[in-house]
Amino acid sequence: MTINGTQYGSWAKVPLQDIGSESVVYSFGAGEDICYEFLLSGLCDPEIHIFDPTPRSVEHYEYCSKMFTGETNPIQDIRFGGGDLRYNNLIINSNANLSKLSFHDYGLYNENSSFKFFYPRNKDHISLSIDNLQNTNDYIDLDVKKIDTILEELGHSHIDLLKLNIEGAEVKSLLHMMKDTEIRPSYVAVKFELVRNNNSESTSLISEIKRVLLQEYEVVYTDKIENYTLKFKD
């Protein structure tokens, strides 16, 4: 059984029987679709941490939380949930446990620093990119942290699910985790969006991280383009 949410936000295919009330979930890249995290909370009751430095993502998490508790009325916005008209109802009816949902306004990378995040060409779109996947000029400086720094700060020793949708930053972030730390999440769900940056360096980095991951992980699901869900080999 997996999450039946929006196509845009619920691409991770993690078996829900392996996620429980003692599980810890890190989800990087919220954008304006967090129905997966709300639905996962309602179904499995894990401790969920959502990370995204994008100002609109911070606002969207607040909107969803207040809509869920009835503090604000639903807004029909085609930017939410990838345009899925069910989005607001998915959040409202998710049965999420807000006491175990947390939002952090910084991103993930292979160092602790502040970086230029470049805007997409279409300003209605929310996803910003460290790797400037759309070759634009406008940017905003935002904070990022290493995975080991985050675990130490949040007081965790293990992650049951690491979900990454971070516009190209996933490769260097994962290479740091696999090469420089002993952190091995039980599941890694990742969108390899660096494939859009079609150059030799990006292609080499993607090949390297897939090789490194597959030494210790097995593929549970892939669309054979960019979406991968992997399980640690016990």
In a domain, 128, yes or no: no
* 43 within domain boundaries: yes
5 assigned to some structural domain: no
Domain membership of residue 147 (yes or no) is no
200-216 helix and 170-180 helix, angle to the nearest 10 degrees: 40
The residues, any chain, with a CB within 8 Å of residue 8's CB and separated by 6 or more, are: 33, 81, 82, 83, 84
State the residue range of the domain holding 192. Answer: 16-107+158-232
The tokens for 135 are: 């070759």
Q: Is residue 21 within 8 Å of residue 34, measured between CB atoms?
A: no
pTM: 0.91
CATH number at residue 95: 3.40.50.150
Average pLDDT, the chain: 90
> Using CA atoms in the order 3, 214, 174, 206, what is the torsion angle rounded to 10 degrees?
-100
* Spatial separation of the C-alpha atoms in residues 75 and 61, rounded to whole Å: 13
Tell me: the pLDDT tens digits for 120-155? 666 656 566 665 556 776 777 888 999 999 999 999
Total of domains in the chain: 1
- Out of 35-39, 52-56, 108-112, 210-214, least confident range: 52-56
Answer for the pair 53, 145: CB distance below 8 angstroms, yes or no. Answer: no
Report yes or no on 7 lying in a domain: no
> Residue 132's pLDDT is what?
59
The pLDDT, as a whole number, for residue 161 is 98
Q: How many CB atoms lie within 10 A of CB 120?
A: 17
Q: What is the CA radius of gyration of the chain?
A: 17
| Cα angle value 115/119/120 (rounded, 5°) | 140
- Tell me whether residue 218 is in a domain: yes
Residues, the chain, total? Answer: 234
* Mean pLDDT value across residues 174-192: 96
- pLDDT, position 194: 60
* 139 within a domain of the structure (yes/no): no
Is residue 127 a part of any domain in this protein? Answer: no
* 97 vs 9: CA distance, rounded Å: 19
234 band by pLDDT with thresholds 50, 70 and 90 = confident
